Chain A
Amino acid sequence: MNSLHFALRLLRRDWRAGELRLLATALVIAVASVTSVGFFTDRIERAMARQASEVLAADIRVESNQPIPEAFIREATRRQLPHASTLSFPSVILHREVTQLVQVKAVSNDYPLRGQMRVRDSITAEDQVAEGVPASGEAWLEERLLPLLGLALGDEIKVGKSSFRVSRIIVYEPDRSANLFRLAPRLLIPIGDIPETGLLGPASRVRHYLLLAGSPSQMSDYRVWVEDQNISGLQVEDIRSARPELRSALDQGGRFLRLAAATAILLCMVAVALSSRRFVERQSDSSALLRCLGASRRQVTRIFILRLLSLGLVASLIGVMIGLGVQTLLIQLIGDWFTTQIPTPTAWPVVSGLVTGILVLIGFSLPSIIRLGEVPPLRVFRRHLAAPPISYRLFLLVALFSLSILLLWQIGDDKMALRLISGLLAGLAILVLISRLLVYALAPLRHLTAGSWRYGLASLSRNPATTTIQLTGFGLGFTVLLLLAIVRVDLLTSWQGALPADSPNQFLINIQPDEVAAVRELLAKGDIETNGLFPMIRGRLVSIDGDPVSLEDYDNPRAQRLATRDFNISHALRPQDDNKIVAGRWWSDTELNEAWFSVEQGLAETLGIPLGAELEFEIAGIRVMGRVESLRSVEWDSFNVNFFVIGTPGLLAQRPATYITSFYMSAEKRPVLHRLIQQFPSVTALDVTAIMAQVRAIMDRGALAVESVFLFTLAAGLIVLYAGIQASHELKVQETAVLRTLGVKRSVLYLSTMLEFALLGGLAGLVSAALASAISFSLAQAVFNLPWEFNFRMWVGALLAGALCVAVAGTLASRSLLNTPPLVTMRKI
């Protein structure tokens, strides 16, 4: 006999008979949720990487202070790589009698290769994507130049020997964000007009760039080629990090989506375990008959395993198809945020979905199904002979193994996965213990109660194994659902709260100390509120605990950059509201003259600065030393002014500083800003409205994506509910028929069924509220960095909802039993 062929025929028959539908549905949901989230996050992450290229406006960028050799451009053309040339230098421009230092950028026609420029045709017009670059003789410039030079669009400006007509306002420039705080106002002109300006003398401070785009392998090949040319003074840059303000929202969202997919898997695992147990009970006759008709134990086992694996494969493929459809919807939700095209799906999520389906089956179904080969053939005569009881040790071991692999793999965050696994294991132990206690506690009550109560309680205490399985199944199911609901609400609330409508959208930097009072007054007059004006001191980190800081000490490119650049340092009486001291303590009012620093946690980790370390900074030629007294976490995506390093006023107040502030300014208050810039020409104003709009959009769409994926978890929850109720179905068939034959009224049986399920559901709800609170507390603290608070209403809600859902669903599911004449039921037994 061909076991596979036979198994497939049996599978077809099983499917028709509805035997495996529950198991298959659970698998389809698990795989669909993993695949849709997999496809979605994979595509978004690749789109993010591509969008991160905007920091360079290219995938790689060759930079030099000498013109880029022609050979480099020829090589790029030969390799058919899209390329563009830019150059950048500071220069003074002239309008009428007013001069202004600007950062001139000259670009070739194909600029930018990645990302898009956004421009405005007038001060009040909506911004739009720039098609192409300025035409010859035209210049685009940053809005703050208009008041500084008293310019209007259409006016002429003088750059070197040439004149340019100002035609557009630059709103957003892809490769600008890398140096948000350092640049003088931007002026953009075509690269072909540069020679006529006569500005490029041998000593001019020009940076030349060659921008290139292509696949990662093309980029890496080109990079190798450049390095082989061995030309000094050349640098090849690639993308190292996307914008941090978006990354944190997206990372958090991605983590939540993976958690949601993992919880859907967890629920499906519970459903698969429950329905497999029922499948074994219902297939025991079939197994005994097969053995009786001459099938060997191995053959029977093989037939059932092949049947199961075929089912797993088919269900997983269906799940993958559904996942593919759902991710298309999710991508549509969020996709238009990306200025780059979202990459097409890869095959990896398909593999991941199929492996998930098979692993869920192996972990939660196989240990039960294997027992079918052990059903004694004599069962055909003696129905009480059943498969040997499952080895719980083996079951737990296999289940734990596949659970751990799946969660660690799917969540992709060991800390979160381990917390979830340990929480669930503890939950499992507690639920088993409570169900045992329940069975013992109910036994004496059976004799003290009467009617419906007695039958309901008896049903729970008479079948301890089924009660344990149901309570554990419901309990784990509710726990996971509640957990996700809590984290989801916390996350959405925190996203909505992260960027309120009045978040700062303007920065003023380079305010001189003697201008602080006047700037403050001007802003107050214009009815613009700030969080304050903060001193900003430029300083270079020279040593940590006496060890000089050098580039070679760090492998990480971010650490290398940080180690060699000037820091913005500040001094303050108290930490900002969005800062949290995570180690050590902030200084008190009596300690303001101590030589102490407070360092941002991420910086401390990157540069290896422990609490208590002695830091030495060089500030305007003077060495300043102090001890790290505290480490802080900072909400960088709040758009408030924040600093990596803050010192005590006593340590830094005497050092030369400029001031910085941020505030929210509505569009109609733009004239206030223009006045301010005219009055204080050295103050630099930066408008981050466009970046903020992007952050808001991503959070709104992300919230929708989160809600969509949550639906999978809800569907999986319903499957668990159904599977849990079905777990006692066979027992109920017999009991109900006997009780009704003996004359027990249907109303009494209805009530007893309702009581039995309400008790199970209520208890499961209560335990799961406790478990979900504990796990969510742990995740909120360690993984999502979200605030957590005890929610009493959730406990009451879980108790009532658990009792109500299980009672209603259980009673509805038993309705056919209660309504069918007992004789009909007895005949079927």
Chain B
Amino acid sequence: MKFVDTSAGRIDILQGIDLAVSPGEAVAILGASGSGKSTLLGLLAGLDQASAGEVTLFGTRLSSLDEDGRAALRAGRVGFVFQSFQLLSGMTALENVMLPLELSGHRKPEQAAKAALSEAGLAQRLHHYPSQLSGGEQQRVALARAFAPNPQVLFADEPTANLDAHTGKRVADLLFKLQEQSQTVLILVTHDEMLADRCDRRLYLRDGSLENEA
């Protein structure tokens, strides 16, 4: 459960959510704007804490960990893809991809990052800065960054929302190709029905509750 207390009283954002995801599974979470999709993603990734209830990641109850403990749990095992890409503007594509590898103490971060960017079709763009890349290329760099450390879980927040249909499709193709190759759990928050259709399971968030969709 997640609620916030305001001067106008308590607002329940999420309630009665019961969700288990198996290894290698791709789950889409759909919902209207403001339905709490990003809040749910934040809770599942341990970026935020539930007001009540329990989130278990890799067999560890997140409530038993403090913020640094949750960060340590994520390091090298959890990847993220964001709607606004979240690339660091001062770093080249290669450096952005190296970031999680360096943080997780990877032995050869540069080699692994180059391989991930090649996989994303950006071998020629290694030393370009985000501002020198198109939106689609930026998101592909973000995908390379997310998959480079071989995460067990990938959280994706509207990964194609900022892209046109054609580019969005190319990015989605890449996302699912990489997810299939690495057998990573994918938790995808999206408005895009077509994108959600490519997942193993579709869930719908309505009035703070999660509903299964066939």
Contacts and interface: CB of A to CB of B under 8 A. Distances in A.
B183 interface: no
A565 interface: no
Contact of A294 (B42, B75, B91, B95): B75
B137 interface: no
A297 interface: yes
Interface string A276-296: 000000000110011111111
A292 B90 contact: no
A380 interface: yes
A377 B103 contact: no
B78 interface: yes
Nearest to A295: B103
A294 B89 contact: no
A283 B41 CA distance: 23
B88 A294 contact: no
A298 interface: yes
A378 B42 contact: yes
Given A286-B88, A293-B75, A295-B75, A378 B80 contact: no
Contacts of B99: 289-290, 293
A380 B82 contact: yes
Contacts of A376: 47
A377 B47 contact: yes
Q: Tell which of B48, B71, B76, B95 has the most Cβ of chain A within 10 Å.
A: B71
B102 interface: yes
Contacts, number: 80
Contact of A292 (B80, B88, B89, B102): B80
Contacts of A18: 90
A289 B71 CA distance: 11
Interface string A1-18: 100001001000110111
A13 B93 CA distance: 12
A13 B91 contact: yes
Contact of A381 (B68, B100, B157): B157
Contacts of A447: none
Contacts of B100: 293-294
B95 A291 contact: no
B68 A382 contact: no
A125 B131 CA distance: 76
A619 B73 CA distance: 94
A171 B157 CA distance: 90
Interface in B111-156: 129, 131
A19 interface: yes
A380 B131 CA distance: 19
A17 B89 contact: yes
Interface string A296-311: 1111000000000000
B86 A380 contact: yes
Contacts of A289: 86, 88, 99
A13 B90 contact: yes
Given A1-B104, A377-B47, A378-B47, A296 B86 contact: no
B104 A382 contact: no
B77 to A, nearest CB: 8
A589 to B, nearest CB: 80
A294 B76 contact: yes
Given A285-B88, A292-B80, A13 B95 contact: yes
Q: Tell which of A6, A285, A294, A298 has the most Cβ of chain B within 10 Å.
A: A294
A380 B95 CA distance: 19
B107 to A, nearest CB: 11
A293 B90 contact: no
Given A1-B103, A295-B103, A296-B68, A16 B90 contact: yes
Chain A interface SS verdict (over half): helix
Contact of B90 (A19, A290, A298): A19
B38 A294 contact: no
A381 B47 CA distance: 10
B105 A1 contact: yes
B32 interface: no
A190 to B, nearest CB: 77
B67 interface: yes
B46 to A, nearest CB: 8
B72 A294 contact: yes
B41 A381 contact: yes
B74 interface: yes
A301 to B, nearest CB: 11
B68 A297 contact: yes
Given A13-B90, A289-B86, A295-B71, A380 B103 contact: no
Contact of A380 (B67, B71, B76, B80): B80
A297 B67 contact: yes
B90 A1 contact: no
Contacts of A299: 103
Given A289-B86, A380-B86, A294 B47 contact: no
B86 A382 contact: no
A1 B102 contact: yes
Contacts of B76: 294
A763 to B, nearest CB: 34
Contacts of A291: 67, 71
A293 B68 CA distance: 11
Nearest to A9: B102
Nearest to A16: B90
A293 B103 contact: yes
A292 B47 contact: yes
A381 B42 contact: yes
Nearest to A290: B103
A298 B71 CA distance: 11
B95 A377 contact: no
B74 A292 contact: yes
Nearest to A2: B105
A78 B103 CA distance: 67
Q: Tell which of B47, B74, B105, B131 has the most Cβ of chain A within 10 Å.
A: B47
B103 A298 contact: no
Contacts of B45: 292
A378 B48 contact: yes
A40 B157 CA distance: 60
Nearest to B41: A381
Interface string B31-64: 0000000100110010110000000000000000
A381 B90 contact: no
Nearest to B157: A381
A14 B102 contact: no
A286 B75 CA distance: 16
Given A14-B90, A378-B48, A298 B75 contact: no
Nearest to B67: A297
B58 to A, nearest CB: 12
A52 B90 CA distance: 57
A6 to B, nearest CB: 6
A382 B89 contact: no
A823 B43 CA distance: 34
B6 to A, nearest CB: 15
Nearest to A19: B90
A794 B174 CA distance: 67
A370 to B, nearest CB: 16
A18 B78 CA distance: 31
A714 to B, nearest CB: 30
Contacts of A6: 102-103
A38 B103 CA distance: 42
Contacts of A377: 47, 67, 71
A9 B82 CA distance: 24
A567 B121 CA distance: 95
Interface of B: 38, 41-42, 45, 47-48, 67-68, 71-78, 80, 82, 86, 88-91, 95, 99-100, 102-105, 129, 131, 157
List the 7 closest A-B pairs by CB distance, nearest first. A294-B75, A17-B90, A296-B68, A294-B74, A293-B100, A381-B38, A377-B47
Given A292-B45, A292-B74, A297-B68, 4 more contacts: A9-B95, A17-B90, A17-B129, A380-B47
Interface of A: 1, 6, 9, 13-14, 16-19, 285-286, 289-299, 376-378, 380-382, 828
6 contacts: A291-B71, A293-B99, A294-B103, A296-B71, A378-B48, A381-B41
